[in-house]
């Protein structure tokens, strides 16, 4: 069997392409339900992680409940971020698609959300980096590393939004 006798190659779309097409074909209310269910799942995941580390053998009575409350708090903030960015991105994408159909210039949703998320990450990570000596003296080097990652990711998102090449 030679090279010319090989069967014709047929490419199949990836699962991510199929999911993206399914997402774009959906109605706005369906997409918002998906965003809200993802936020609820994130809240439950935060609660579960907090509950998993709570009241282990060797902990004092005052420590029981701290993991659960911190898990609820972290899950709440993560769910709020998903709701804010998910709803804003979904609504802006629908408005952008309608503007593009009518021939007007579409909204740069990726730039708006990228800059917003980048500014939040930069705002969250930079105070710890300014006080890195105090954190390192307390033996909390993981907070400094995590804050450095947040600052770098925030700067990357902001720069990517402004310097990303557009398809032409």
Nearest Cα residue to 116 out of 79, 73, 87, 85: 85
Going residue by residue through the chain (168 aa), what tens digit of pLDDT does each one get?
Answer: 566 676 777 788 888 888 777 777 778 888 888 888 888 998 888 888 777 777 666 666 666 777 778 778 888 888 888 888 888 888 888 888 888 888 888 888 878 888 888 888 888 788 877 887 877 777 777 778 888 888 898 888 888 887 866 554
CB atoms within 10 A of CB 6: 8
**Cβ atoms of residues 116 and 92 within 8 Å:** no
Q: Which residues contact 158 (CB under 8 A, 6 or more apart)?
A: 114, 115, 118, 119, 122
**Cβ atoms of residues 162 and 111 within 8 Å:** yes
The phi and psi torsions of 164 (rounded to 5 degrees) equal -75, 135
Q: Which two tokens mark 117?
A: 């998320």
Q: What pLDDT sits at residue 40?
A: 92
To the nearest 10 degrees (0 to 180), the angle between helices 109-130 and 141-163 is 150
Burial of 133 (0-12, 13-18, 19+ CB in 10 A): exposed
Q: What pLDDT sits at residue 168?
A: 44
**Cβ atoms of residues 160 and 145 within 8 Å:** no
To the nearest 10 degrees (0 to 180), the angle between helices 66-101 and 109-130 is 150
Question: Given CA atoms 113, 115, 121, 127 in this order, what sign does their dihedral have?
Answer: negative
Q: CA 128 to CA 44: how far, in whole Å?
A: 28
Q: Which two tokens mark 53?
A: 């580390």
Q: What pLDDT sits at residue 63?
A: 64
**Cβ atoms of residues 51 and 69 within 8 Å:** no
Q: What pLDDT sits at residue 94?
A: 84
């Amino acid at each position: 069997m030679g090279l010319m006798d090989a069967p014709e190659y047929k490419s199949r779309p990836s699962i991510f392409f199929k999911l993206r097409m399914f997402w774009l074909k959906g109605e706005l209310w369906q997409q918002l339900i998906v965003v809200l269910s993802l936020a609820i799942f994130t809240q439950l995941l935060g609660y579960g992680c907090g509950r998993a580390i709570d009241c282990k053998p060797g902990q004092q009575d005052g420590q029981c409940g701290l993991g659960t409350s911190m898990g609820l708090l972290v899950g709440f903030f993560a769910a709020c971020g998903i709701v804010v960015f998910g709803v804003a991105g979904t609504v802006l994408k629908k408005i952008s698609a309608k503007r593009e159909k009518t021939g007007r210039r579409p909204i740069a949703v990726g730039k708006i959300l990228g800059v917003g998320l980048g500014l939040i990450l930069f705002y969250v990570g930079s105070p710890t980096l300014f006080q890195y000596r105090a954190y390192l003296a307390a033996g909390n080097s993981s907070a400094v590393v995590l804050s450095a990652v947040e600052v770098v990711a925030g700067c990357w998102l902001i720069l990517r939004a402004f310097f990303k090449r557009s398809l032409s």
